[in-house]
Amino acid sequence: MKPSLTGIILEELADFLRERGAPSYRAKQITDWIYKKRVASFDAMTDLPNELRAELTAEFDTPKTEVVRVLGSKDTTQKFLFRLRDQNLIESVLIPASPALYGQPSDRRTICVSSQVGCAYGCKFCASGLEGWTRNLDAGEIVEQLIAVEEKSGEKIDNVVFMGMGEPLANLKNLLRAIRIINASWGLGIGARHITVSTSGLAPQIRELANESTQFRLALSLHGATDEVRGQIMPVNRRYPLKVLLEACDYYVAKKRRMMFEYILIAGVNDTDEQARELAKIARRLSAKINLIPYNTVEGLEWSRPSRARQKGFQSILRRHGVVATLRREKGHDIAAACGQLRLQTKQAERELRLSV
Ligand code: SF4
């Protein structure tokens, strides 16, 4: 398969042009067409010689990702379902203003993007893992989600979270390439402080990231403060139990990198006072902030969110132990905004349709 136009890196493009005897300024001209003017084919790059356009067309694939469904909710969170060139489905969520989302200022327009088709990690609260992993997205398919959502919504995105379908660190090479494009001034120009990668806790990759030059913020989905509780929610905890995971985090933080925790509050599962106290110990050890997220109901799963009083009680224990913890007001609850749900519903509907004809 040819590399995608929306996965092009300026420096690599300059090398490609040099090998063909084309002037180096063409590289910036081309990335401007792709990432600033947002054209979807080399034919539209009218200031390039025809011969060069033909060479680029032969070398790179043009975007084939298609938006097949858009759902908007009462609070204006919007969900986008994409069909990829191989007919697989992925989704992105646009969240307009989120005061409590990762502590960002309230005027940020956040996109939650997918990094894989499906997911192999099977976290028990998540629809994305219900049908397993299909394949990794390439960098172009990740970047295209931002470009297509901006075009469809008319919004300028200035905050990116890799918290959609897939485990981003299981697709590390493509993830880092996409982040380079999203962050670069010749690319989408979104600052590193406004790019957050969320992981279920792949300890070896967290160590690898400690030595990585690409900048972004790392969020660890903890969801349980002891192996017993975390293991019930996240099967990955069997492979990387808390001791192994937290040692990798120690290494990451020792390299002067900060991380934050996400903790989904599930009634009767991980919302006890004892879990709050254990969580506070872990957060203090790593100087990490905690983002508490009330559980989002997933069709087919039986868990529920704790009462607002219990959510606030959990938060206040953390605060009493000196930990900074925000409690997110759940957005998009009414449009199945938790990752993987829209895709799952669409796949089921397509299956039913096929059965009925
Ligand atoms: S939460 Fe993330 S890592 Fe866990 S199953 Fe869902 S997509 Fe995969």
DSSP secondary structure of 313-324: HHHHHHHHTT--
Helix (H) or strand (E) holding 326: strand 325-327
Q: For residues 206 and 170, is the Cβ–Cβ distance under 8 A?
A: no
Measuring from each residue's beta carbon to the nearest atom of ligand 1, which residues come in under 6 Å?
Answer: 119, 121-123, 126, 128-129, 165-167, 200, 339
| Token pair in block for residue 168 | 């981003």
pLDDT tops 70 at residue 285: yes
Nearest-CA residue for atom 3 of ligand 1? 167
Give me the phi and psi of 192, to 5 degrees please. -60, -30
Ligand 1 pocket: which of 93, 125, 128 to mutate (most atoms <8 Å of CB)?
A: 128
Better-scored residue on pLDDT, 3 or 31? 31
- Reported as a single tens digit per residue, the pLDDT across 241-250 is 999 999 999 9
Strand partners, 96: none
Angle subtended at Cα 347 by Cα 231 and Cα 166, rounded to the nearest 5 degrees? 40
Distance from residue 356's CA to the centre of ligand 1 (Å): 32
Q: For residues 124 and 42, is the Cβ–Cβ distance under 8 A?
A: no
Task: Provide the pLDDT confidence category of residue 291 given band limits of 50, 70 and 90.
Answer: very high
Residue 234 Cα: closest atom of ligand 1: 4
Q: Can you tell me the distance from the alpha carbon of 112 to that of 266, in angstroms, rounded to the nearest whole number?
A: 22
Task: Provide the pLDDT confidence category of residue 63 given band limits of 50, 70 and 90.
Answer: confident
Query: pLDDT at position 345, please?
Result: 62
Nearest to 137 by CA among 166, 159, 105: 166
**Dihedral angle of Cα 201, 206, 207, 212, to the nearest 10 degrees:** 170
Residue 200 Cα: closest atom of ligand 1: 3
Distances (CA, A) of 55 to 20, 58, 115, 273: 9, 5, 29, 63
Q: For residues 292 and 325, is the Cβ–Cβ distance under 8 A?
A: yes
pLDDT tops 90 at residue 321: yes
- Worst-scoring range by mean pLDDT, 130-134, 157-161, 216-220? 130-134
- Reported as a single tens digit per residue, the pLDDT across 308-320 is 999 999 999 999 9
Per domain, the residue ranges of the chain are 5-59, 66-353
Indicate the CATH number for domain 66-353.
Answer: 3.20.20.70
| Token pair in block for residue 186 | 């010749």
What DSSP assignment string belongs to 241-260? Answer: -HHHHHHHHHHHHHTT--EE
Q: What is the largest CA-CA distance in the chain?
A: 68
Nearest-CA residue for atom 4 of ligand 1? 123
Architecture of domain 5-59: Orthogonal Bundle (1.10)
Q: Scanning the structure block, which residue is given the tokens 């995608």?
A: 4
pLDDT tops 60 at residue 191: yes
User: Residue range 163-189: average pLDDT?
Assistant: 97
Distance from residue 189's CA to the centre of ligand 1 (Å): 27
Strand partners, 111: 94, 160
- Counting every residue written for the chain, the total comes to 357
- The amino acid that residue 292 corresponds to is L
Query: pLDDT at position 105, please?
Result: 47
Task: Provide the pLDDT confidence category of residue 337 given band limits of 50, 70 and 90.
Answer: very low
- The residues annotated as belonging to the active site are 91, 339
Query: pLDDT at position 333, please?
Result: 40
Distance from residue 200's CA to the centre of ligand 1 (Å): 7
Distance from residue 165's CA to the centre of ligand 1 (Å): 7
pTM here is 0.90
Distance from residue 199's CA to the centre of ligand 1 (Å): 8
Q: For residues 157 and 96, is the Cβ–Cβ distance under 8 A?
A: no
Better-scored residue on pLDDT, 187 or 257? 187
Better-scored residue on pLDDT, 229 or 347? 229
Task: Provide the pLDDT confidence category of residue 335 given band limits of 50, 70 and 90.
Answer: very low
Angle subtended at Cα 111 by Cα 233 and Cα 81, rounded to the nearest 5 degrees? 80
Whether the CA torsion 149, 92, 194, 211 is positive or negative: it is negative
Q: Can you tell me the distance from the alpha carbon of 347 to that of 343, in angstroms, rounded to the nearest whole number?
A: 6
DSSP 3-state assignment of 81?
strand
Ligand 1 pocket: which of 93, 114, 123 to mutate (most atoms <8 Å of CB)?
A: 123
Q: Can you tell me the distance from the alpha carbon of 38 to that of 251, in angstroms, rounded to the nearest whole number?
A: 40
Residue 198 Cα: closest atom of ligand 1: 2
Residue 119 Cα: closest atom of ligand 1: 8
Distance from residue 163's CA to the centre of ligand 1 (Å): 8
- Worst-scoring range by mean pLDDT, 47-56, 176-185, 214-223, 298-307? 298-307
Q: For residues 111 and 145, is the Cβ–Cβ distance under 8 A?
A: yes
Ligand 1 pocket: which of 117, 126, 245 to mutate (most atoms <8 Å of CB)?
A: 126
- Reported as a single tens digit per residue, the pLDDT across 146-168 is 999 999 999 999 999 999 999 99
Pairing mode of beta strands 66-72, 78-83: antiparallel
